[in-house]
Chain A
């Protein structure tokens, strides 16, 4: 069997009052971008922290490149890079110093340090801010610096906890580009958590959806979206016979509201629309507008986590998320 980058087997983390992670198992291949999705409090961050040996699991086994994280914690930490959800670059130092300290803590030989630090800073487009104090940085720059710190050691596995939380859309795009580049150029395995569906869809090769400590589903974004159902075409028509005509044409409608809305579920909506319109026109139906809705990961997310997205928040998490947001924006 080919060696996996990350193996999680029957992982459980029990806190005094809640089971944060409940019997979760999954693998991550080398060079894969794997996303854990879920509402706040779903157990994503806990899973990452167990993998990084920051907290011990209650039960179950986790391996990174075949090294048991509970038994050889230092070896595991040496292989990994971590960008926590909270701001973790030190504002009272320059960006160079921040990366320098990381390089030293990862035991990089003195001769290699300087070129490597310059390399990561230029990879993250921070070269011109090398000697500026970090507390003058914008949220996006801070995030890039944190990634630089995590990369200086050339980790085999990079953990990103909510990499774009609190960033503006532009900064978010930049971070996404970097994450892809990192995988494509260095074949780094990346495990990230997010509750941003767009982010997961854009970046992840595979995603697992977590809810209340359980792994609800796992698969490629396209597969998950397909599983939710096909495309939805909504037709607006003032002709009263639209519904009947559609039925005659062999389509099954799911709604037929009195104001002339007809929703139908189909596959390949884009290619079907012209054909459908021609059929309706031939049948004497006046169509006012047509819209097509493709399923998104949002739908997948909703299906597996239900309407409980907000409920999962604990006070501490809400506070942290808000604080992270205000600090970055």
Chain B
């Protein structure tokens, strides 16, 4: 009984932290609109150009156009690119003193991290909506129904949570905004390129393939591609298991790091 109320309190606190972040977005929505630009460019410019490459088209799963193949990748990419810099917020809040105050409340450290990760997840949703709307405009044929859209939202939230936890864990080690910027830059491209986001793993150089297989981004792209493009849901449980497990792992690491962050 007591354990149950502890668990309830834990998630309640996480939701309060997320609410705090979302209220901030409500007051200033520019960031949401600005963040829709980048995925739009990937899809509309890069995607349309690559469609013309024969090598791309012959290596993606049969029956898919390149844009169908790539849209889930852009969805995952948009979540990754924002979440990987999330640690900067936490460093900023530490420098301001906001973090000290949060930590002096009864909320546990990991519920604070979970709440922040959740807010990163919700931010990701807005971009996902933008990508889906754009795919309709570009007449990319996707399997869109309430279930697949819900599934995509869940994956986007999870993948944003996962990489924002990675980012917060790193932030607790590097401790300055400038270094955090650098680390974010260093990590985004390898994570993005060593995944199946914009080309199939089969055409990668063989030494990158193992990296792609341990990259959680690959699994989130895979999950969304299954739901939106191929309709083949065989590997969905594995995809979700990998994403959830990595998220939990980095949630724990980031929570442990939070202690170091303020000392």
Measuring CB to CB, which residues of chain A are less than 8 angstroms from any residue of chain B?
A: 49, 52-55, 74, 77-78, 80, 82, 84-88, 90, 92-94, 97, 101-102, 104-107, 133, 146, 149
Q: Which of A82, A87, A107, A133 contacts B104 (CB 8 A)?
A: A82
Asked if residues B101 and A106 are in contact (CB atoms below 8 Å), the reply is: no
Chain A residue at smallest Cβ distance from B28:
A92
Interface residue SS majority, chain B: helix
Q: Given A49-B262, A92-B27, A106-B106, list of 6 further CB < 8 A pairs?
A: A54-B103, A78-B106, A82-B100, A84-B101, A94-B27, A105-B102
Asked if residues B105 and A52 are in contact (CB atoms below 8 Å), the reply is: no
Asked if residues A74 and B19 are in contact (CB atoms below 8 Å), the reply is: no
- CB of A314 to closest CB in B, whole Å: 14
Question: Is B13 in contact with chain A by the CB < 8 A criterion?
Answer: yes
Measuring CB to CB, which residues of chain B are less than 8 angstroms from any residue of chain A?
A: 9, 13, 16, 19-20, 23-24, 27-28, 96-98, 100-108, 262-263
Assuming A54-B103, A77-B104, A82-B104, is B96 touching A88 (CB within 8 A)?
A: yes
When distances are taken between beta carbons in the complex, the residues of chain B under 8 Å from A104 are 16, 19
- CB of B24 to closest CB in A, whole Å: 4
Asked if residues B97 and A102 are in contact (CB atoms below 8 Å), the reply is: no
When distances are taken between beta carbons in the complex, the residues of chain B under 8 Å from A107 are 9, 106
Asked if residues B9 and A82 are in contact (CB atoms below 8 Å), the reply is: no
Asked if residues B97 and A85 are in contact (CB atoms below 8 Å), the reply is: yes
Asked if residues A93 and B24 are in contact (CB atoms below 8 Å), the reply is: yes
- CB of B106 to closest CB in A, whole Å: 5
Asked if residues B105 and A92 are in contact (CB atoms below 8 Å), the reply is: no
A101 to B106, CA, bound (A): 12
A326 to B188, CA, bound (A): 35
When distances are taken between beta carbons in the complex, the residues of chain A under 8 Å from B103 are 54
- CB of B261 to closest CB in A, whole Å: 11
What are the 6 closest A-B residue pairs judged by CB atoms, nearest first?
A86-B97, A105-B105, A82-B104, A88-B101, A92-B24, A88-B97
- CB of B17 to closest CB in A, whole Å: 8
Q: Which of B23, B100, B105 contacts A106 (CB 8 A)?
A: B105
A74 to B10, CA, bound (A): 12
Asked if residues B98 and A88 are in contact (CB atoms below 8 Å), the reply is: yes
- CB of B119 to closest CB in A, whole Å: 13
Most A-side CB within 10 Å, residue of B9, B96, B104: B104
When distances are taken between beta carbons in the complex, the residues of chain A under 8 Å from B27 are 92-94, 133
Asked if residues B96 and A86 are in contact (CB atoms below 8 Å), the reply is: yes
A189 to B191, CA, bound (A): 52
Asked if residues A105 and B23 are in contact (CB atoms below 8 Å), the reply is: no
Asked if residues B105 and A102 are in contact (CB atoms below 8 Å), the reply is: yes
Asked if residues B16 and A105 are in contact (CB atoms below 8 Å), the reply is: yes
Most A-side CB within 10 Å, residue of B19, B27, B106: B106
Asked if residues A77 and B105 are in contact (CB atoms below 8 Å), the reply is: yes
Assuming A92-B28, A93-B23, A93-B24, is B13 touching A105 (CB within 8 A)?
A: yes
Asked if residues A105 and B106 are in contact (CB atoms below 8 Å), the reply is: yes
Q: Which of A55, A80, A101 contacts B19 (CB 8 A)?
A: A101
Q: Which of B97, B100, B107 contacts A105 (CB 8 A)?
A: B107
- CB of B31 to closest CB in A, whole Å: 11
Asked if residues B23 and A88 are in contact (CB atoms below 8 Å), the reply is: no
When distances are taken between beta carbons in the complex, the residues of chain B under 8 Å from A149 are 101
Asked if residues B262 and A87 are in contact (CB atoms below 8 Å), the reply is: no
- CB of B53 to closest CB in A, whole Å: 44
Asked if residues A88 and B100 are in contact (CB atoms below 8 Å), the reply is: yes
Q: Which of A49, A77, A80, A93 contacts B20 (CB 8 A)?
A: A93
Asked if residues B97 and A80 are in contact (CB atoms below 8 Å), the reply is: no
